[in-house]
Amino acid sequence: MRTFTREYGYARVTTRDQNEYRQLIVLLDQGIPNEFIFNDKVIGKTFDRPEYQMLKRVLREGDTIFVKSINRF
């Protein structure tokens, strides 16, 4: 059983033309390691997003998710 907690980041843009760079910079500045940042490029009307689904699978009780803005989640 894992006894420590992790911090994860989640970034999302709604089109391939948009750039998630600003969101990633904020997450990295928070100290989130690149390998713990999940990034989707899909419309947010559904939670059927590949990286979001992966994030849900790795989360454990006590972990924290950081997002730049709640509307990106």
Give per-residue pLDDT as tens, 2-49.
678 999 999 988 877 788 889 999 999 999 999 999 999 877 677 789
Does residue 2 lie within any of the structural domains? no
Res. 1: pLDDT tops 80: no
How much is the average pLDDT of 46-62? 91
Does residue 50 lie within any of the structural domains? yes
Res. 51: pLDDT tops 80: yes
Closest to 51 measured CA to CA, from 42, 60, 63: 42
Does residue 27 lie within any of the structural domains? yes
Task: Write out the two tokens for 12.
Answer: 């999302």
Does residue 40 lie within any of the structural domains? yes
Closest to 65 measured CA to CA, from 11, 4, 1, 19: 11
Alpha carbon separation from 6 to 14, 17, 51 (Å, rounded): 27, 31, 17
Write the DSSP symbol of residue 15.
Answer: S
Does residue 1 lie within any of the structural domains? no
User: What residues make up the domain containing 50?
Assistant: 7-72
- Total domains in the chain come to 1
Does residue 16 lie within any of the structural domains? yes
Task: Write out the two tokens for 13.
Answer: 């843009």
For tokens 């009780």, the residue is 61
CATH number at residue 41: 3.40.50.1390
pLDDT number for residue 34: 94
